[in-house]
Amino acid sequence: MKALVFNGPRDIRYESYDDPKLTGHNGVILKVDKCSICGSDLHIYHGDQISKTHYGADVDKFCVGHEFIGEVMELGKEVHGFKVGDKVLAAGGTGCGRCKSCQIGRIAECANVTGFGLSKELNGGQAEFVQVPNADRTLMRIPDGVSDDHAILLTDAMATAYFGTTSADIRPGHSVAIVGLGPIGIIGVELAFLMGASQVFAIDPVENRRQKAEALGATTFAPGNEAFQTIIEKTDGKGPQSVFEASGAKPAVEAALSLVGPAGTASFIGLPQADVTLPLMSILYKNATIRAGVAPVTLMWQSLVPLLQQGRLKAEGLFSHTMDLSDGTEAYRLFDARDDNVVKIMLNVS
Ligand SMILES: [Zn+2]
Ligand SMILES: [Zn+2]
């Protein structure tokens, strides 16, 4: 098959790779229909670190990508919820399927959790075909009234935005700050208002991303002192009650921590690099609650799908570019360079 294959830092190539085979009885093989590139894929592209893996040139080749939808081609005999031909979306990662954490959908806490497209142990779905182990707990048939764009967003970005905003304890009437306006942060703005936020402040260095947040009702700022001072002023000198940090970049993490008001909550979902640390002193004296984690993606679907079906959550205009999988090398370059006002890129596979 053809796939986008990690060959080393800044070297993701569209090339041939072995077809996936079922390695257990609880998995399926999907024919991938569409996939997308995530901000966290750029950590791989940059040769940075995700969890314990450093993406240097010494890493064995693997297919990248954890955001994909497709059609079931083949299934193991222990898969009960799906049949050949089903159109499905997959959570961005999976676990063993048997432990207590997996059984309650909290896959991130499984001892054997793996994300798709992080190593050759679980090849990714920026490919013509992908194996999805533990299929019954990892896949969902694309529900009626859910578009392909939304289905792709449900694999990670929208689920992570929902997890991050609910983890920030947003309540009706709260003032909210969102730091980082990639797709997750932009969806976070919409969700914060759905949860009843009275005002949403949003910070990002890129103007067209701020414009998207403004169109949803947020008050936006480029990062810096002026943003900090204005937000503090507009929240009675205290700072927002809920802060959602949606990038993982060191300055964004620091901004989120400095903004959160007394007894407020700050939540973090961006994949941090090793040099990102938390200043316990300021957290303690603010009585702030800090939450960080990887979204239990499948658990978020039950809340998000009805919001999408009812048209209450729109998540519109996030796919600024649609390209073919064969243009993947250029797609990564463009996404990384933030050229051409890119927000998120959809790749058509078939
Ligand atoms: Zn992602
Ligand atoms: Zn497990």
Ordered by where they begin, the domains of the chain are 2-156+297-348 (3.90.180.10), 161-292 (3.40.50.720)
Place of tokens 């894929």: 41
Residue 37 Cα to ligand 2 middle (Å): 26
Prediction pTM value: 0.96
Residue 38 Cα to ligand 1 middle (Å): 4
Task: Please state, in angstroms and rounded to a whole number, the distance separating the CA atoms of residues 7 and 17.
Answer: 12
Task: Please state, in angstroms and rounded to a whole number, the distance separating the CA atoms of residues 200 and 216.
Answer: 10
Two tokens, residue 189: 């703005």
Residue 69 Cα to ligand 1 middle (Å): 13
Ligand that comes closest to the CA of residue 184: 1
pLDDT tens-place values along the chain, 350 residues long = 999 999 999 999 999 999 999 999 999 999 999 999 999 999 999 999 998 899 999 999 999 999 999 999 999 999 999 999 999 999 999 999 899 999 999 988 999 999 999 999 999 999 999 999 999 999 999 999 999 999 999 999 999 999 999 999 999 999 999 999 999 999 999 999 999 999 999 999 999 999 999 999 999 999 999 999 999 999 999 999 999 999 888 999 999 999 999 999 999 999 888 888 898 998 999 999 999 999 999 999 999 999 999 999 999 999 999 999 999 999 999 999 999 999 999 999 98
CA dist 264 to 234, 244, 258, 261, Å? 15, 11, 11, 5
pLDDT at residue number 91: 97
Contacts 24+ apart (CB under 8 A), 212-215: 212/181, 212/186, 212/317, 212/318, 212/343, 213/178, 213/181, 213/185, 213/186, 213/189
Residue 104 Cα to ligand 1 middle (Å): 22
Ligand that comes closest to the CA of residue 66: 1
pLDDT at residue number 168: 98
Residue 155 Cα to ligand 1 middle (Å): 7
pLDDT at residue number 54: 94
